[in-house]
Structure 1
Amino acid sequence: MLRIALLYGGTSAERDISIKSGEAVWAALERVGHSVLPFDVGTEPIERLASEKLDFAFIALHGGEGENGTIQRRMEELNIPYSGSGPLASRLAMDKELSKAEFLTHRVPTAPYEVAEEFEAEYRIRRMARRMGWPLIVKPIDQGSSLGVAKVTCLNEVHDSLKSAFKFGPRVMLEKCIQGRELTVGVVGNRALPVCEVIAPTGFYDYKAKYDKQAGTRYDTRPALPGPTAKMAQHYARRAHHALRCHGYSRVDMMLDQDGELWVLEVNTLPGMTETSLLPKSAAEEGIGFDELVQELIDVSMEQRRRPISNRATRVLAA
């Protein structure tokens, strides 16, 4: 039995989602037999953990300081082992521009993009549309859960889409819209979980499609995919995971286009952890229940942090 701090809540725009993940993980930890200290990062000073004699911290935060490396750095300063990736990987995954740069360096296929500030964004998106055609995607640089993300299909939608995205920060990403099927692949330790397909009725997996029960979004953990597509999706998931220096676990989102090509969208270092979230759904397809998955995430995270720092180098898979 371990004494585990469960970090949840926080102050980001994804606080409500984090609370749901936290409650689910809390229950699982107690069922497994651990002693749990629930800790709402949004209402309590993190320094309090220093006096708690903890064996581990399970981070169930989403967005903000929970995913941008801040909390991870504080855990290391307090010498508390924690779940998931370290400060650098968290920062790389949270910042979409940094992620894209790493994907390109490590030959991970990703959609063409530009980054724009407010004064130039409308000009840039018009220029991209002339070059690539509609639709395009507008998204904040460093938000999760598809907050502020919009699919722009014509000039009339540009202004409102940019206005929404700029609410979250001074820069936005403008990206070619890859049309096709949305896939997601969990990575635990060094293995990729079964591919899950996300089927949104509108064809666009935005915030509403993710969290509104009335949206009618479906998830297929046994999608019919052509040829070697499933194995390639798992390959690119592991490749993206390692390209960003992730360890422990992650979830990699990607698109399968109409020509059968895969395009990685992003890596989530702290994916949702309710019993109906995508990572647990994929694990269940392998016969791994929610409680068992939570314990495995602890095990792989602790194993990683037992290794000497010199052995934690990035391992990027060969093409």
Structure 2
Amino acid sequence: MPVRERRRRGPPHGRLPEGGLRALRRPAGTGDKALGLPPGHTGGEDMTPRLPRYRVAVLCGGLSPERSISLESGRNVAAALLDRGVNVEIVDVTTSFLDAPPPLDCDVAFIALHGGEGEDGTVQAVLERMGIPYTGSPPEASRIGLDKAASRRRFERAGLFVAPAVLVEDTPASPPPDCPLPAVVKPVTGGSTIGVSVVRDPAALLDAIWKALRTDRAALVERFIEGREFTVAVFEEMVFPPLLIEPAAEIFDFDCKYSDGGARFSFDHGLPPERLAALEKAAKDAYNAIGCRGLARVDFILPPEGPPCVLEINTVPGMTSHSLAPLAAARAGIPFDELCMMAVRAALERKAPLRNVS
């Protein structure tokens, strides 16, 4: 059965066909529409392998609210690896990976799961028990990175600036008295800005907390910091150019992230050298503070004065056509297919001495 692309806006519910492992090896006469790959992949037996035929399982989909974004990330990664001559299987994770991990016959797993078990260390721990190398951060770093309260503690311990915040773990009858205002209220482990609110009026604070708690076990009420929003991608020892985000809305929310025209992005932000260096150092320090590996992305608010304020870290950044880490890598001269290959190489190198992957 072909893998079909289903693009949606709003909370994701799209599903690939059931059945676990789906081969994306390109058969003769099969076009990109049937495979659900991005435009321009015409199919046919015209691919010249450019490296040993490693088998990569791209894990995507999952059960989190970010499912549709993960499916798009997975398709993009699969297409890029196919172009580099890699044998690719795309795995739509439709059940709990912990309870029923799918059979994987691969040399490496490429994790393109966003939120939930794909980012909280569950999938990573299962893959380690299975003896399968995987892309990205190890289980403990993944768990800490997804939990904004836990990662804040690591950032503070590393000397990084985070906004004052209050953690709300039970549904309150009234807002806790020590909540800062104005505030950003967010689910403590959520992604893609789902369930996030900006609150300036104290009367709106309780509704914002309830909104966050509808999607998560706890809500983080964080002081709103005025400034410009930046994101900085890091890959191992490389820090990619910081990217300025100018959303059409007050915050860089789900619609801004995944719709055309929802935000403007610029590398020409005019930061003085010392501010640019501080931002890049803070990104690397945040990456190291939780023990990341592979590709990660750190989000900041840069106030008019003072140090960068760390908002959060994403240990499995999006790989969609709207995603920011690939955009930053491209600015550094690394095209998308090479970024995917770098992730595969790094995973294999951690498992065993690498054989001529080019």
* TM-score (ref. length: structure 1): 0.89
2 CA distance for matches of 1:141 and 1:273? Answer: 23
* Residues 9 and 15, structure 1, Cα contact 8 Å, conserved in 2: yes
User: 2: CA distance between counterparts of 1:297 and 1:141?
Assistant: 27
The match for 1:311 is none
Deviations 1:215-239 (A, max 9, x none): 3x11112321134111111111110
Contact preservation (8 Å) 1:182, 1:256 = yes
The one of 325, 329, 333 equivalent to 1:279 is 325
Matching residue's letter, 1:117: E
Deviation at 1:212, TM superposition (A): 2.9
Q: Secondary structure of 1:261's partner?
A: coil
Q: CA deviation at 1:135?
A: 1.5
Change (3 A) 1:255 1:304: farther
- Tell me if 1:12 matches 2:64: yes
Task: Tell me, in whole angstroms, the C-alpha distance in 2 between the residues paired with 1:121 and 1:194.
Answer: 45
Q: Are residues 117 and 44 of structure 1, via their aligned partners in 2, closer, same or farther at CA, if it must alter by over 3 Å?
A: closer
Q: Quickly say closer, same or farther: Cα 1:148–1:44, change in 2 above 3 A.
A: closer
CA-CA distance at 1:123 after TM superposition: 3.1
What is the DSSP-based 3-state SS (H/G/I as helix, E as strand, rest coil) of the residue aligned with 2:271? coil
Look up the SS of the partner of 1:143 in the other structure. Answer: coil
Query: Could you tell me which of 253, 259, 275 is aligned with 1:229?
Result: 275
* Paired residue total: 299
Q: Once the 2 structures are TM-superposed, how far is the Cα of residue 249 of structure 1 from its aligned partner?
A: 1.6
| Aligned twin of 1:127 | 178
What's the offset of the Cα at 1:185?
0.5
- Gapped runs of 5+ residues in structure 2? 1-52, 354-358
Q: Does 1:92 align with 2:138?
A: no
Counterpart among 113, 118, 128 of residue 61 in structure 1: 113
Select which of 71, 84, 108 maps to 1:32.
Answer: 84
RMSD between superposed Cα atoms in Å: 1.8
Cα distance per residue 1:146-202 (max 9 Å; x no partner) = 111111011232132112101022321111111110000000111110000111122
Identity of aligned residues (%): 37
Distance 1:108 1:2 in 2: 40
CA shift for structure 1 position 108: 1.6
What is aligned with 1:71? 123
Instruction: Please say if residues 166 and 178 of structure 2, whose CA atoms lie closer than 8 Å, have aligned partners that are also in contact.
Output: no
* SS of aligned partner of 1:246: coil
Kindly state the Cα deviation for residue 121 of structure 1 after the two structures are TM-superposed. Answer: 7.5
2:339 aligns with 293
Higher relative contact order (CA 8 A, sep 6+): 1
Find the counterpart in structure 2 of residue 265 from structure 1.
311
Distance 1:74 1:249 in 2: 20
Name the CA distance, whole Å, in 2 between partners of 1:289 and 1:60. 18
1:137 aligns to 2:189 (yes or no): no
Between the aligned partners of 2:230 and 2:286, the Cα distance in structure 1 is 14
Question: Which amino acid is the alignment partner of residue 171 of structure 1?
Answer: A
Given residue 255 of structure 2, which amino acid in structure 1 is its aligned partner?
A: K
Report SS of the residue matched to 1:33.
coil
User: Normalising by the residue count of structure 2, what TM-score does the alignment of the two structures yield?
Assistant: 0.79
Q: Contact 1:250/1:269 (CA < 8 Å) preserved in 2?
A: yes
Instruction: Report the 3-state secondary structure (helix = DSSP H, G, I; strand = E; otherwise coil) of the residue aligned with 1:123.
Output: coil
Give the direction of change, closer, same or farther, for the CA distance of 1:262–1:121 in structure 2 (3 Å limit).
farther
Mark the structure with the bigger radius of gyration.
2
Deviation at 1:264, TM superposition (A): 0.7
Structure 1 stretch displaced more, 113-122 or 73-82? 113-122
Matches within 5 A, 1:43-54: 47-50=101-104, 52=105, 54=106
Contact 1:221 1:281 in 2 (8 A): no
Is 1:109 equivalent to 2:156 in the alignment?
A: no
201-210 or 114-123: bigger deviation: 114-123
Contact 1:28 1:290 in 2 (8 A): yes
Question: What residue number does 1:153 align with?
Answer: 200
Q: Which amino acid aligns with 2:205?
A: V
- Look up the equivalent residue of 1:274 and give its one-letter code: T
Task: Determine if contact 1:195/1:222 at 8 Å carries over to the other structure.
Answer: no
Matched to 2:217, the amino acid is P
